[in-house]
Amino acid sequence: MTDPLDTTSDRRPGGRTARIRAQVLDAVRAELAERGHEGLTMEGVATRAGVHRATVYRRWRDVGGLLVDVIDAAGEVDWQPPDTGSLRGDLTALNREIQESLVVQPSLALALMAASFHSEQASRAQTRLWADRYAQCEILVEHAVERGELPAQHTDARSLLIAATAPLYHRLVLLRDTPDPELPERAAEAAVLAAAAGAFRVRREEGA
């Protein structure tokens, strides 16, 4: 299927289509930061990006389409989970990244979370991105098992990761509290201690 933005013969990577996409997505991020989801419009994005609004409508159709592409673009970034040599260190580093993304002003992470409550398209894209990130981070648990930091029994990596990161979201997103520089490490340590005690061990079904 031909990209509707690719109206010339220039279809090489980094060509016109990629440039226009980058301009538009940068504009979406800037508009979200300044105006929030309520102020995000196709016309505003087109003006800021320096792109004709017909081009924006043709490629992205509506605000939901713009939000989805911004979230999908985040998933295209070559991000790798921390590798510090210990589960506690890895989770602490991960939590520090999360905290930074939530407290930086303006916070695109917070803006996209808010937008996902107003757009079903964005909500689905956000869920996909989070699922992919958690899947990427499961290697932290695999390494911890290999190093003998966790019980030999299978540990539910997703549950451990959620337990380690949840305090950051609870404090900064739900409570809108001031950032605590010690929270990333404390939350990581609590999750590691719980995991070492078998709190996230996968339960075998009865009769299995």
Residue recorded with tokens 């991960």: 94
Q: Which of 23, 70, 17 is nearest to 47 (CA)?
A: 23
How far apart CA 77 and CA 81 sit, in angstroms, is 12
Global pTM reads: 0.85
Give pLDDT < 70 ranges for the chain. Answer: 1-14, 204-208
pLDDT at 151: 85
For the chain, strand residue ranges (E) read none
Which tokens go with 194? 């719980």
